[in-house]
Amino acid sequence: MKKLVLQFIFGFIILPASLAGTLYYLNENGFFNIAKVEVILENPPRGQEQFLKPLVDNLEASLVKYKGISLWNIKLKKISRKVSELNWVDGLNIKRSWPSTLSVRVRPHEVKLLYMGKNGKLLPIIKDGTFLDEVEAKQAPDVALLDGEAFLKKSSLRQKAVEVMEQIPAEGSFSRKTISEVRYDNKEGFWMTLIKTGVQVKMGEDQVALKAARVSQVVEYLDSRQFDARVIDANLSKKVLVRLRKDP
């Protein structure tokens, strides 16, 4: 019985107290002070590394002030709240990586479209139509450009443009990669300009995926026959109309 009591005292009192004392001593002597702050991107959008790098660098620079603070004493909720306020951050997870690293895992927003401001700088647009901070052209992701003041004034129209583009394939003869500009007309809906040929494609606003498939077939046919198209009108119920450059 006496042996059991001694084991109990050692296991539940002496050992935990010794461990706590050791941790306290190490903490007081800076063993758990933050020596490294790392920012890790989770599932970064493909092809947008150049856009994200300065944002990550700025975030890392803003977190340097936490170096030298004990991991035990750091307020993770406060840091999380500050990082979450960055408009390019879609989600994050902050954790202590013992003994001396603060790890910040960030899921960035994907830039869907761009809008050119009056100063020549580009405004990235995310899924819900929100503008991010303006960037220089050399930093901007390789996505289509919205053309028209209506996009500047209406976030709902920007969001609609994103939804329309999402229905167009990522790759192919008519795809998000082959579109340079997107315009909007109140009567005719969305128009797209092709990068390679400058052909104007009228898409309207509905059944975009179906129309995109038709346009893709038409573009392939025109390329194979070397026809010089000016306009492709896909905003029709069952067909696609092509106007050649020599047409009136």
- Architecture of the CATH domain 113-244: 3-Layer(aba) Sandwich (3.40)
Where does the pLDDT of residue 9 fall: very low under 50, low under 70, confident under 90, or very high at 90 and above?
very low
**Nearest partner of 113 among 64, 74, 72, 147, judged by Cα:** 147
The model's pTM is: 0.87
Q: Which two tokens stand for residue 216?
A: 């893709």
Task: Return the DSSP state at 238.
Answer: S
26-74 confidence digits (pLDDT tens): 444 555 689 999 999 999 999 999 999 999 999 999 999 999 999 988 9
Domain at 36-108, CATH class = alpha beta
What does the domain layout of the chain look like in residue ranges? 36-108, 113-244
Instruction: Write the pLDDT tens digit of every residue in 86-132.
Output: 999 999 999 999 899 999 999 999 999 999 988 888 999 999 999 99
The single-letter code of the amino acid at 126 is I
Q: Do 36-108 and 113-244 share a fold?
A: no
Whats the size of the chain, residue-wise?
248
- At 225-243, the pLDDT tens digits run 999 999 999 999 888 999 9
Average pLDDT, the chain: 88
Quickly state the pLDDT bin for 248 (edges 50, 70, 90).
Answer: low
Q: Per-residue pLDDT tens for 174-202?
A: 999 999 999 999 999 999 999 999 999 99
